């Protein structure tokens, strides 16, 4: 599914992408499979006395089996942290293109290297086979054109994209809504659903429901940043020092070796 980017104006190769991840890793914080008690679905801070956070608990009660099979955040996006800032900056229409370029480059590297190293962990944790279809959770404002994150990673991914269209007026919805998005038929598809920021999870889970309604057999969701408030992060003991991001591990890391850190050859998942 992952490939060397084609074209004459070569986007960065794996060695460079990996160097960009190393350059930002010290300011990143991420959930670990063996780490603190976190929501069993989104890996954010859980609710009191519950294995799930309030939102995931609510979603499960409403929609149960039609949600994503697995949700894996690459890192926490603690409010005000460099990662949260980048997730805002890379697609902000209020910033000039030059100010979006560095955050975009960093996020692209982080997502691609994560998918390459830990994609198999994600599929295994969801009990599903490797995906054969990609999808992006539409932006909240329903802006026209290709999603900025898809534009960044598209050249590296070989699987086809499933289009998710927002129902007119439905983009602003904040709750889980099976009709918020619609997809063309995807019989038996195994979808890797990508989102930049998970706040309540309502958008991503509504998108997962739409994909299932379109016939998808499985949906694995990977998000770049699991939003966490500052006080919430402190209460749960989350941060670069206590829960550091590590290239060799992920929220659902199993007992296997991730791709070696020096790997430079293209891979197909
Ligand atoms: Zn949750
Ligand atoms: Zn892993």
The model's pLDDT over 111-145, given as tens digits with 9 standing for 90+, comes to 999 999 999 999 999 998 899 999 999 987 667 78
> Ligand 2: distance of its center to the CA of 246 in Å?
10
Spatial separation of the C-alpha atoms in residues 56 and 34, rounded to whole Å: 20
Q: What is the pLDDT of residue 254?
A: 78
Spatial separation of the C-alpha atoms in residues 190 and 182, rounded to whole Å: 16
Q: Residue 186 is part of which domain span? A: 65-236
- For 182-236, write each residue's pLDDT tens digit: 999 999 899 999 999 999 999 999 999 999 999 999 999 999 999 999 999 999 9
Task: Determine, yes or no, domain membership for 52.
Answer: no
Neighbours of ion ligand 1 (CB under 5 A): 39, 41-42, 53, 56
Spatial separation of the C-alpha atoms in residues 191 and 224, rounded to whole Å: 17
Task: Determine, yes or no, domain membership for 127.
Answer: yes
Spatial separation of the C-alpha atoms in residues 6 and 102, rounded to whole Å: 21
Strand partners, 198: 226
> Ligand 2: distance of its center to the CA of 42 in Å?
15
Q: Domain count of the chain?
A: 1
When mean pLDDT is compared across 12-21, 91-100, 169-178, 237-246, the lowest value belongs to: 169-178
Task: Determine, yes or no, domain membership for 245.
Answer: no
Task: Determine, yes or no, domain membership for 258.
Answer: no
Task: Determine, yes or no, domain membership for 110.
Answer: yes
Name the pLDDT band for 2 (thresholds 50, 70, 90): confident
Q: What is the CATH number of the domain that holds 116?
A: 3.40.50
Task: Determine, yes or no, domain membership for 38.
Answer: no
Task: Determine, yes or no, domain membership for 229.
Answer: yes
> Ligand 1: distance of its center to the CA of 36 in Å?
14
Task: Determine, yes or no, domain membership for 37.
Answer: no
> Ligand 2: distance of its center to the CA of 116 in Å?
10
Name the pLDDT band for 174 (thresholds 50, 70, 90): confident
Ligand nearest to the CA of 120: 2
């Amino acid at each position: 599914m992952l490939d060397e980017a084609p074209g004459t104006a070569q986007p960065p190769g794996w060695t460079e992408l990996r160097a960009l991840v190393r350059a930002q890793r010290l300011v990143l914080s991420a959930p670990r499979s063996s780490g603190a008690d976190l929501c069993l679905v989104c890996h954010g801070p859980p609710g009191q006395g519950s294995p799930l956070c309030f939102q995931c608990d609510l979603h499960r009660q409403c929609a149960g089996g039609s949600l994503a099979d697995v949700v894996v955040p690459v890192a926490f996006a603690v409010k005000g942290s460099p990662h949260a800032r980048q997730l805002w900056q890379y697609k902000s229409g209020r910033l000039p293109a030059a100010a979006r370029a560095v955050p975009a480059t960093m996020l692209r590297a982080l997502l691609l290297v994560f998918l390459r190293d830990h994609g198999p962990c994600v599929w295994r944790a969801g009990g599903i086979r490797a995906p054969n279809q990609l999808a992006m959770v539409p932006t909240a404002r329903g802006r026209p054109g290709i999603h900025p994150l898809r534009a960044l990673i598209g050249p590296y991914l070989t699987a086809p994209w499933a289009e998710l269209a927002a129902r007119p007026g439905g983009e602003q919805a904040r709750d889980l809504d099976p009709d918020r998005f619609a997809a063309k038929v995807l019989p038996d598809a195994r979808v890797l659903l990508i989102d930049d920021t998970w706040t309540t999870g309502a958008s991503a889970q509504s998108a997962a429901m739409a994909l299932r309604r379109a016939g998808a057999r499985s949906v694995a969701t990977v998000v770049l940043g699991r939003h966490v408030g500052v006080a919430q992060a402190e209460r749960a003991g989350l941060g670069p020092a206590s829960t550091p991001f590590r290239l060799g591990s992920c929220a659902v890391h199993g007992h296997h070796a991730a791709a070696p850190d020096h790997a430079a050859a293209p891979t197909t998942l």
